[in-house]
Amino acid sequence: MTTERTTQTALPRRIAHLDMDAFFASVELLRYPQLKGLPVVIGGGRRRADDLLARLRDTYPERDWSETTLDRIPLDFFPRLAGYTGRGVATTATYAARQFGVGSAMGLMKAAKLCPQAILLPVDFDEVRRISRLFKSTITEIAPVMEDRGIDEVYIDFTNVPGGQRENGRALARLIQRSIHQATGITCSIGVAPNKLIAKMASEFNKPNGISIVLPEDLQTLIWPLPCRKINGVGPKADARLQAHGIHTIGALAERERGWLIEHFGKSYGDWLHAVSWGRDERPVVTESEPVSMSRETTFERDLHAVRDRAELGAIFTRLCAQVAADLRAKGYQGKTIGIKLRYDNFQSVTRDVTLPDATDDAASIRRHAGLCLKRVDLTRRIRLLGVRVGKLVKPGTEGAAPAHYSGNHPSVPRSVQDKAHDDHTHLLFPDLD
């Protein structure tokens, strides 16, 4: 009996980055198709359908209004950005609004100056999450190796998917685009490249509803002319340092020797900068990953003060801690590091944290230790944002998880500190801590 052996040549890597086009805005345009092509900004609050219907019935009492008749709302009914004076932030904007310079994470007051005629709509998180789950399940039915990177983007490994090598991945990208549009009514843009690093850049090349293919031989023509900020992992501070050395593009970065980059940016980051400038990235597409931390934060409509707004701030703080605890339990985690984040009225941010001997998912314990962290920051200044974070996550029952009798007290914080009265501002804001 003879056994035939066949040598299988490894297929070239085909990694795709898929990004839904103006996702939050696109979700709203499904509800309000009359707004397509117009400048629309999403942000400033959560959608309340009942409030909208009530206003419609007050304004147009002669008509019957329901969720099925929203496409008939006259354009002059929608609120405009002009004159906006709140503290909201833009979640996203349609491409018509982006032409005026409006972008994600921009303050709505600034957006109002750039594009006062833009229509302002609140966020419908429930619908966004529903469509997010729908487009991701559509992808995995075609290409099962998918890495979830957030509400509106994923990485997909095309390499061994039937048809994944055709036209260097373009054929499969077209199939996924069509399938998502049929399932959701929303378009997406896809970049296909040898790795995740370049695929993410490529997905921005041809928006909206575009497909871009980058091959290894395209590095110098398509990637090197891009600014260094296009590299996922080069933030504003690193980019400023690079520019101070006259490095403005990825190509200029590639011209620097690895040793020089290590000398100026440290062993780890310098080595990484050299690798990515040459398009090297061996990270796999990970279908499941453990979260590093869970957090909740909120930006206030107006700046709050620890004394004058202590009741409101205290309630928000308690709610954030309860939400993080609920998130932990829903995902089956406990955390050992409890932290807080504050942003003051001058946009300066501060963080503080404390590490416990045992992990917890108890809301009262999280609030107690987060309160101790607040004791270590300046609470005499007005606060713009407040956040609570739990890190160093573990699964209950594993090493480091809380035993059943755990009370939440942290021995590395002396009892004298835990028991003594806090400073006036902390005590007024969190009177139950002592």
Put the strands of the sheet holding 40-46 in their side by side order. Answer: 90-93, 40-46, 119-123
From 178, 193, 215, the end of a domain falls on 215
38-54 pLDDT, tens digit per residue, is 999 998 766 665 677 78
Q: What is the residue range of 179's domain? A: 128-215
Q: What are phi and psi of 114, to 5 degrees?
A: -75, -40
**Pair (239, 143) in one structural domain:** no
Q: Are 409 and 398 in contact (CB under 8 A)?
A: no
pLDDT value of residue 49: 57
Q: Tell me how far apart the alpha carbons of residues 27 and 132 are, in angstroms, rounded to a whole number.
A: 10
In a domain, 388, yes or no: yes
Catalytic site residue from 67, 127, 141, 153: 153
Q: Is residue 98 part of a domain?
A: yes
Instruction: Report the predicted TM-score, pTM, of the whole model to 2 decimal places.
Output: 0.71
Per the prediction, the chain carries an average pLDDT of 86
98: domain CATH number? 3.40.1170.60
- C-alpha distance from residue 343 to each of 248, 290, 368, 381, 386 (Å): 31, 28, 20, 10, 7
Distance between CA 418 and CA 192 in Å, rounded? 54
Residue finishing a domain among 215, 232, 264 = 215
Whether residue 405 sits in one domain with residue 305: yes
- CATH number, domain of 200, equals 3.30.70.270
Residues 147 and 211 in one domain: yes
Structural domain count, the chain: 4
The tens place of each residue's pLDDT in the chain, 434 residues long, gives 444 444 456 899 999 999 999 999 999 999 999 999 999 999 876 666 567 778 888 888 888 888 788 888 888 888 899 988 877 888 899 999 999 999 888 889 999 999 999 999 988 888 999 999 999 999 999 999 999 998 999 999 999 999 999 999 999 999 999 999 999 999 999 999 999 999 999 999 999 999 999 999 999 999 999 999 999 989 899 999 999 999 999 999 999 999 999 999 999 999 999 999 999 999 999 887 677 889 998 888 788 888 888 889 999 999 999 999 999 998 899 999 999 999 888 888 899 999 999 999 999 999 999 999 998 998 888 998 899 999 999 888 665 555 443 444 443 343 333 333 334 444 445 444 43
pLDDT of amino acid 418 = 37
Residues 86 and 120 in one domain: yes
Q: Is the dihedral of CA 242, 246, 248, 250 positive or negative?
A: negative
% of the chain residues with pLDDT over 90: 61
Same domain, 64 and 78: yes
Residues in the chain: 434
Whole-number Å distance between alpha carbons of 84 and 45: 13
**Which CATH number goes with the domain that contains 395?**
3.30.1490.100
Residues 306, 420 within the same domain: yes
Question: Each residue of 352-380: pLDDT tens digit?
Answer: 999 999 999 999 999 999 999 998 998 88
Does residue 267 share a domain with residue 302?
no
For residue 91, which of 125, 63, 65 has the smallest C-alpha distance? Answer: 125
In a domain, 184, yes or no: yes
Q: Are residues 209 and 298 in the same domain?
A: no
Q: What is the distance between the alpha carbons of residues 65 and 273, in angstroms, rounded to a whole number? A: 56
Q: Are both 304 and 422 inside the same structural domain?
A: yes
Q: Do 117 and 135 belong together in one domain?
A: no
Domain boundary among 174, 189, 215: 215
In a domain, 65, yes or no: yes
Cis peptide upstream of residue 208 (ω within 30 degrees of 0): yes
pLDDT tens-place string over residues 186-208: 999 999 999 999 999 999 999 99
- Whether residue 3 lies inside any domain: the answer is no
Q: Considering the domain boundaries, does residue 271 fall inside one?
A: yes
> Is 153 part of the annotated catalytic residue set?
yes
Would you say residue 73 lies in a domain? yes
Same domain for 181 and 104? no
Q: Do residue 32 and residue 45 come from a single domain?
A: yes
CA distance 87 to 107: 7
CATH number of the domain within which 254 lies? 1.10.150.20
Is the residue at 238 inside a domain?
Answer: yes
What stretches of 263-417 adopt beta strand conformation (E)?
A: 293-304, 334-344, 349-360, 383-394
